Amino acid sequence: MGEVQREPIKIVAENRKARHDYFIDETYEAGISLVGTEVKSLRAGKVNLRDSFADVSGNEVFVRNMHISPYDKGNRFNHDPRRPRKLLLHRQEIKRLLGQTTQKGYTLIPLRVYFKRGRAKVEVALARGKKLYDKREEIAKRDADREIARELRGRDRE
């Protein structure tokens, strides 16, 4: 009768390495302030989140090192590929992020860029850096789980 329709999300880019390098504690959805040719490049999927991060300056949050390639047909109206871009968050969220990032070990990492209802959004995560032994532990656990699944599949065939 009253089915809930989910709005379609078109994922443009994802930072897969972030989940490997960081413990993700919280995620926030933020709008992003872009100029015209940046939107066109985003729609074409020409964005790279590797090595990008976000920081709180004053009462604003900026994402830095996010590379959006210049638009092919942009000529003189093209943008700087690595310029800092303002993230659009509620004031309470910004205050909370400021408090969290001043604590030891927390940082803001963009996880993915996507379009939701025609608007560019960034999923930003409050994250703590993993140590090398944490990464090794996670890889060993994944391998063990894979081995167990393989054994269980083998038993089902017998």
- Per-residue pLDDT, 3: 64
Q: How many CB atoms lie within 10 A of CB 128?
A: 15
Structural domains of the chain sorted by starting position, each given as residue range(s) with its CATH number in brackets: 9-130 (2.40.280.10)
| Whole-prediction pTM | 0.76
What are the start-end ranges of the H helices in 25-131?
Answer: 36-43, 91-101
Tokens standing for residue 61: 């949050």
pLDDT tens over the chain, length 158 residues = 556 667 788 888 898 888 888 888 889 999 999 888 888 888 888 899 988 999 998 889 999 999 988 887 767 777 788 889 999 999 999 988 888 888 777 889 999 999 998 899 999 999 888 887 778 888 888 899 998 888 888 776 65
List the beta bridge partners of residue 14.
112
**What's the confidence (pLDDT) of residue 101?**
86
Residue 9 φ/ψ, nearest 5 degrees: -115, 125
Three-state SS for 82?
A: coil
